[in-house]
Structure 1
């Protein structure tokens, strides 16, 4: 059906009446490409869904099918108008969820009746819906939500209040936005509040989005810097030997048993010299009283360090001198190893001489 254009004789700028699409064109339209939202009772997308459909009705020139300007029972004689009206009913049913469709579908419905039944599911009981939406609107806080999620919920509640006849002004929406922000955006509250001219809700939302992006970028840089510092502080130094490797040995450090590397000739001469020394009855040399079985000291050690005193001094001083077959032993100089006895020059007691030399007088 094509509506005749009408114009006022006095107003040259009077708009012509909208031209409706034909019934054949309406049957070929894929409404999903014009209304991408699916309406559900559990979702808060009624405003979005209705906005898409109102745009489509104006675009195709069929707004008079749902605005109560023409009654369907009066247009029964117009076959093309009736076919377009039936196509609109099919569009509406196609964009509903199964639960909502089962609640509103009726046989032989026209477009106006179907549109009214759907809107009543979301706009009936206006007083209760207004009270509930206002409580949610004024009690909303950002919490763990991002700026996009937080502003999105504010916008949904604002649309709901407008749909039930209690619209929220843009300045009030900005105040509610600032009052529910997290503490990390506290510096933005002063900036947005002091802006002249005053920021709209869209401007405040854009400002907070940029602030959130900047804060996330700064946090990522700080985390990367901390990770780099931690890896440097815990990393192995080049001078640190690897785990399980033996420490390097210095040529000057003696090997096991107190021996000097490369000192085989010195050890052989020392062993030969010790074998030529007189021994006591216990098989120990007079030098240091050490056993032949003990390892020799290192070349830098004191040869008299650790000398064992085998006999107490008091008992040695009480030994009575005795004469042998040849008489008293002529006086001899005490050996260096017994210098600690403080024996004066002269004759040694025979018992001490026999004990030291292992010879019988």
Structure 2
């Protein structure tokens, strides 16, 4: 965690001017860089593609972590409200079913990251309300089914994609 929070700063690239002239790196610098890039890889692999694009080009795990912290942890009440409104009013339009669901899930993930998780039922309703007219029969069938039994978002996602393939 020291690399990410700054308590373990990057050592100097060269241990002396002579080694700098010879382009010989400080071994502590090489080890630190390896660790930093490993941590950066872990951060990147844990993010959705739409979020990864926001930290593209940041060269250290600390910079990526600071950017993500500003983006998600330090969100104001008004930003949380904006994300919730966007989730409730988001429309599929001409997007593919998969892209639409990915965008809805991304908004949900943003809320989860700030400690405001969206219940599966509410997430499913957001998707159902935003689907275009080609999914009316799916929405009707789902609403009838939902009276009988609740469904996880994961199962709903699979069912909707299966319907889309048909």
Q: Do these two structures clear the TM 0.5 threshold for a shared fold by scoring above it?
A: yes
Q: Is the Cα–Cα contact under 8 Å of residues 83 and 111 in structure 2 kept in the other structure?
A: yes
Q: Is the Cα–Cα contact under 8 Å of residues 66 and 115 in structure 1 kept in the other structure?
A: no
More helix, by proportion: 2
CA distance in 1, matches of 2:3, 2:149: 41
CA distance in 1, matches of 2:81, 2:32: 36
Q: Is the Cα–Cα contact under 8 Å of residues 73 and 113 in structure 2 kept in the other structure?
A: no
Ranges in structure 2 where 5+ consecutive residues have no aligned partner:
10-26, 45-54
1:118 paired to 2:67 = yes
Q: 1:157 aligns with which of 79, 85, 107?
A: 107
Q: Is the Cα–Cα contact under 8 Å of residues 3 and 36 in structure 2 kept in the other structure?
A: no
Q: 1:167 aligns with which of 99, 117, 121?
A: 117
Q: Is the Cα–Cα contact under 8 Å of residues 192 and 199 in structure 1 kept in the other structure?
A: no
Q: Secondary structure at the match of 2:112?
A: helix
Distance 1:121 1:211, change over 3 A: same
Q: Secondary structure at the match of 1:129?
A: helix
* Superposed counterparts of 1:1-361, under 5 Å: 64-65=1-2, 71-72=7-8, 84-91=31-38, 92=40, 96-98=55-57, 101=58, 113-114=62-63, 116-123=65-72, 125-127=74-76, 128-195=78-145, 196-214=148-166
Q: Larger relative CO (CA 8 A, sep 6+): 1 or 2?
A: 2
CA distance in 1, matches of 2:94, 2:162: 18
Distance 1:84 1:198, change over 3 A: farther
Question: In the TM superposition, what whole-angstrom CA distance separates every residue of 1:130-166 from its partner, at most 9, and x where no partner exists?
Answer: 1221121111012222211111110110111111222
Q: Which has the larger radius of gyration?
A: 1
Question: In the TM superposition, what whole-angstrom CA distance separates every residue of 1:174-229 from its partner, at most 9, and x where no partner exists?
Answer: 11111112223222123222334322222222222222222xxxxxxxxxxxxxxx
Q: 1:83 Cα shift?
A: 5.9
CA RMSD of aligned residues (A): 3.2
Distance 1:133 1:88, change over 3 A: farther
CA distance in 2, matches of 1:143, 1:119: 29
Q: Secondary structure at the match of 1:194?
A: helix
Ranges in structure 1 where 5+ consecutive residues have no aligned partner:
1-63, 74-79, 215-361
Q: Is the Cα–Cα contact under 8 Å of residues 133 and 161 in structure 1 kept in the other structure?
A: yes
Distance 1:81 1:169, change over 3 A: farther
Give the alignment's TM-score, normalised by structure 2. Answer: 0.63
